[in-house]
């Protein structure tokens, strides 16, 4: 593969120049977080920030997401840069001056910074449009937090024709500031929702022999699922099953008629995912039957595995080092079991996602509040590096010999 030939100072300077406006936009979005697929205030802020730039804007009927297309003077490759826009259903407790004004909604996953960095990159790349050897598509996507926003935008035809290659950044307070991290192959897991209902027959607590008590079976299913994982699934291709909620009964002297379990399944391959699905049905249904009960199992397919192309990951590593030095990139030794709907893009297009460290100033990244905490805070200065990385990756992906 060709060496990185870009001039890193162009994009590092651009990142620094865009930082103040990125901080202003990030804080405005942070103060008015929105959930799900329809984010009218956030989308309006993005459009206002992009106004006047030489961009073609496209939107679909299913979400408030948008694509902003920058066409360079040469008719070359098309690359996609993505930033997600939605918040989480949390009540913020950070004490920030720009804290959420919407009770029950908070940007606790850093998507506000993702939007601000992508806008900054769009502005910088527009300023350098004449050097682009192809087209850059900026994807501002709602509904990443379990709403399948990327899939809806794909179904709306917003990625048609498909780009040649894609890249995304995800900020993290649990990494040293300004450091990028990623890996080839599986980066993040699939994520499915489990719903198990065990049905018996209610009765008096003093006469369990006359009832069919679902509670012992529920407890047995919880522990048996963990045994199933360790005895059916190889540790080299793992699965994680977490039962996070158990519900049954109304009082202390009545055996309930039924009970329910809620949980998640995470895997790093479709092979293990299929084994785990079959095992969940088998364990729940057969344990219930052994107790004279009946089990109903529902598994809701969530995001697929986020699989990064090795060529694009290698390009990201070399680009980060060209911009900021050898210590700016860390190759992850193993995947994380979180999930990402950028996986839908990577099913269609070769590409990669990388993490960007943004641990708060004066804190310890190993002990600070992590993503999805209602106390999570970030170092905004890291966004300058994120903007530069987006720009440099667009430049590099347009020009590199990736043999796609």
CA–CA distance, 102 with 30 (Å, rounded to integer): 10
CA–CA distance, 342 with 164 (Å, rounded to integer): 15
- CATH number of the domain encompassing residue 75: 3.40.630.10
Lowest mean pLDDT among 47-51, 90-94, 112-116: 90-94
In a domain, 38, yes or no: yes
Asked if 120 and 21 touch (Cβ cutoff 8 Å), the reply is: yes
What pLDDT sits at residue 184? 97
Q: Could you tell me the pLDDT band of residue 1, with boundaries at 50, 70 and 90?
A: very low
Asked if 284 and 217 touch (Cβ cutoff 8 Å), the reply is: no
Lowest mean pLDDT among 27-36, 40-49, 68-77, 379-388: 68-77
What pLDDT sits at residue 403? 62
CA–CA distance, 78 with 69 (Å, rounded to integer): 10
Q: Supply 14's token pair.
A: 């651009």
| Same domain (yes/no): 210, 279 | yes
Of 265, 285, 300, at which residue does a domain stop?
A: 300
Q: Which domain holds residue 325?
A: 8-187+305-399
Whether the pTM exceeds 0.85: the reply is yes
Q: Could you tell me the pLDDT band of residue 2, with boundaries at 50, 70 and 90?
A: very low
What pLDDT sits at residue 404? 60
Q: Which of 385, 326, 400, 402 is nearest to 15 (CA)?
A: 385
What pLDDT sits at residue 396? 92
Residue-wise pLDDT for 315-374, tens only, equals 999 999 999 999 999 999 999 999 999 999 999 999 999 999 999 887 788 888 888 989
CA–CA distance, 220 with 244 (Å, rounded to integer): 15
Longest dimension (CA), the chain: 82
| Same domain (yes/no): 200, 168 | no
| Same domain (yes/no): 104, 158 | yes
CA–CA distance, 394 with 312 (Å, rounded to integer): 11
CA–CA distance, 127 with 77 (Å, rounded to integer): 19
User: What's the distance, CA 84 to chain centroid?
Assistant: 8
What pLDDT sits at residue 401? 65
Q: What is the mean pLDDT of residues 197-221?
A: 96
| Same domain (yes/no): 12, 142 | yes
Residue-wise pLDDT for 370-400, tens only, equals 889 899 899 999 999 999 999 999 999 998 6
């Amino acid at each position: 593969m060709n060496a990185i030939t870009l001039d890193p100072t162009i994009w590092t300077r651009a990142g620094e120049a865009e930082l103040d406006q990125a901080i202003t936009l990030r804080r405005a979005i942070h103060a008015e977080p929105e959930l799900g697929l329809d984010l009218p205030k956030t989308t309006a802020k993005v459009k206002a920030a992009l106004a006047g730039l030489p961009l073609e804007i496209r939107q679909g009927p299913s979400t408030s997401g948008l694509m902003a297309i920058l066409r360079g003077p040469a008719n070359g490759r098309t690359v996609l840069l993505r930033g997600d826009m939605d918040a989480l259903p949390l009540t913020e407790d950070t004490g920030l001056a720009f804290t959420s004004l919407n009770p029950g909604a908070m940007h606790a996953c850093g998507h506000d910074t993702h939007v601000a960095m992508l806008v900054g990159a769009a502005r910088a790349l527009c300023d350098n449009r004449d050097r682009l050897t192809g087209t850059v598509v900026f994807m501002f996507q709602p509904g990443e937090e379990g709403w399948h926003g990327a899939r809806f935008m794909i179904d709306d035809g917003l990625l048609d024709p498909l780009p040649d290659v894609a890249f995304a950044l995800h900020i993290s307070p649990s990494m040293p500031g300004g450091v990028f991290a990623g890996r080839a192959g599986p980066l993040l897991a699939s994520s499915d929702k489990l719903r198990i209902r065990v049905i018996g027959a209610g009765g008096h607590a003093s006469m369990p022999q006359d009832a069919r008590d679902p509670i012992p079976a529920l407890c047995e299913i919880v522990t048996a699922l963990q045994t199933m994982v360790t005895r059916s699934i190889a540790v080299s291709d793992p699965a994680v099953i977490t039962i996070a909620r158990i519900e049954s009964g109304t009082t202390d002297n009545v055996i309930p008629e039924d009970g329910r379990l809620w949980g998640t399944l995470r895997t790093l391959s479709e092979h293990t995912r299929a084994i785990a699905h079959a095992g969940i049905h088998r364990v729940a249904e057969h344990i219930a039957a052994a107790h004279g009960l009946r089990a109903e199992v529902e598994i809701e397919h969530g995001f697929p595995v986020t699989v990064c192309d090795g060529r694009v990951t290698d390009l990201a590593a070399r680009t980060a080092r060209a911009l900021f030095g050898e210590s700016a990139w860390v190759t992850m030794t193993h995947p994380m079991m979180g999930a990402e709907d950028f996986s839908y893009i990577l099913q269609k297009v070769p590409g990669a996602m990388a993490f960007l460290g943004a641990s708060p100033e004066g804190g310890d990244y190993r002990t600070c509040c992590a993503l999805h905490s209602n106390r999570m805070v970030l170092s905004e200065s890291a966004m300058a590096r994120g903007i530069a990385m987006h720009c440099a990756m667009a430049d590099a992906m347009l020009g590199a010999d990736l043999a796609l």
